[in-house]
Amino acid sequence: MKVTTDGCLFGAWAAEQVKSQIPIPIPIAIGTIGTIGTKVKNILDVGTGTGLLSLMLAQKNSSNIDAIEIDEDAYEQARENAAGSPFAGRVNLIHGDAKTFSFEKKYDVIVSNPPFYESEILSANPKKNVAHHHSGLLLDELLSVIKTNLASDGVFYLLLPYKRTGEIKKTLVEKDLSILKLVFVKQSTRHGYFRVMLAGSVSGKDEMETTIDELSIWNEEQQYSDEVRELLKDYYLYL
């Protein structure tokens, strides 16, 4: 499984969001304001692949991370990657199906770079179908996993195709989940949006303000933008 630029960008962004631990105000009752994101002890990475996202989170945070992967080859690679990292004691790899696995705790943060292509043509490679198509994990199923396993004051982070934004919002409403932050991502300043990075919570029925931002991976000179350099500087020797 190859490492993608948008996947690395998402990992860096999510790690910074968790690291900041800035309380996000949420309405928990009429006239009452609570906060989320203040303490992150346990993180779940759903569909970890080769473990990149978990390792990026571990590099920036002292949290304990459970990373679940259904594909055996990817799981073995992730396990080797975690074991060879400085964070081996905090990253626990699980070989299993997130839809049916019984997790022993509620998580302060759940992250996922889930399947992208639920409605598109399948690859001839069955492993790619599990990684990228509906045969692995539907968005609706992923959100059910999140709803079941996220702490009441927890936050989840997703990387998804921009073209599915409308569908994503509709499905979140159906699951009583809320959007806290949206970051629309362009490949360059000359392109339209192609990815969305999303932060959300389980406090679905209360209306809350959504923060919306955008960034471009490449600037007009076809160099990494300042925002992307800032996010990725601690993960790459050269940018």
Say what the pLDDT of residue 210 is: 86
Structural contact between residues 157 and 197, judged by C-beta atoms closer than 8 angstroms: yes
CA gap 9, 229 in Å, rounded: 10
Say what the pLDDT of residue 87 is: 95
Model pLDDT for residues 46-65, shown as the tens digit of each residue? 999 999 999 999 999 999 99
pLDDT at 140 > cutoff 60: yes
Say what the pLDDT of residue 100 is: 96
Phi-psi sector, 159: left (phi>0), alpha (psi -120 to 50), beta: beta
What confidence category does residue 202 fall into, taking pLDDT thresholds of 50, 70 and 90?
A: confident
Domain count of the fold of the chain: 1
Tell me if 67 is assigned to some domain.
Answer: yes
Give the pair of three-digit tokens for residue 223.
């160099």
Neighbours of 213 (CB within 10 A): 11
What confidence category does residue 204 fall into, taking pLDDT thresholds of 50, 70 and 90?
A: low
Tell me if 238 is assigned to some domain.
Answer: no
Instruction: For the chain, give the longest Cα–Cα distance.
Output: 55
Say what the pLDDT of residue 239 is: 60
Tell me if 133 is assigned to some domain.
Answer: yes
Give the mean model confidence (pLDDT) for residues 1-28: 78
CA gap 212, 74 in Å, rounded: 33
Tell me if 237 is assigned to some domain.
Answer: no
Q: Any idea what the CATH number is for the domain that residue 187 is in?
A: 3.40.50.150
Which among 65, 74, 79 has a CA at the least distance from the CA of 108? 65
Neighbours of 104 (CB within 10 A): 5
Of all residues in the chain, the percent with pLDDT exceeding 70 is 79
Tell me if 239 is assigned to some domain.
Answer: no
Model pLDDT for residues 206-233, shown as the tens digit of each residue? 556 789 999 999 999 989 999 999 999 9
pTM above 0.95, yes or no: no
Tell me if 127 is assigned to some domain.
Answer: yes
Model pLDDT for residues 99-128, shown as the tens digit of each residue? 999 999 999 999 999 866 454 443 445 454
What's the chain's average pLDDT?
Answer: 85
Residue 222, Cβ density class (10 Å: 0-12 exposed, 13-18 middle, ≥19 buried): exposed
Model pLDDT for residues 24-45, shown as the tens digit of each residue? 554 444 444 444 444 799 999 9
What confidence category does residue 2 fall into, taking pLDDT thresholds of 50, 70 and 90?
A: low
Q: Is the dihedral of CA 58, 176, 100, 69 positive or negative?
A: negative
Domain extent, residue 95, equals: 5-232
Tell me if 108 is assigned to some domain.
Answer: yes
pLDDT at 134 > cutoff 90: no
Tell me if 101 is assigned to some domain.
Answer: yes
Structural contact between residues 142 and 110, judged by C-beta atoms closer than 8 angstroms: no
What confidence category does residue 154 fall into, taking pLDDT thresholds of 50, 70 and 90?
A: very high
Within 115-223, residue ranges assigned H as helices are 126-132, 139-149, 165-174
Model pLDDT for residues 159-197, shown as the tens digit of each residue? 999 999 999 999 999 999 999 999 999 999 999 999 999
Give the pair of three-digit tokens for residue 49.
């692949």
Q: Which residues contact 69 (CB under 8 A, 6 or more apart)?
A: 47, 48, 49, 75, 78, 93, 94, 95
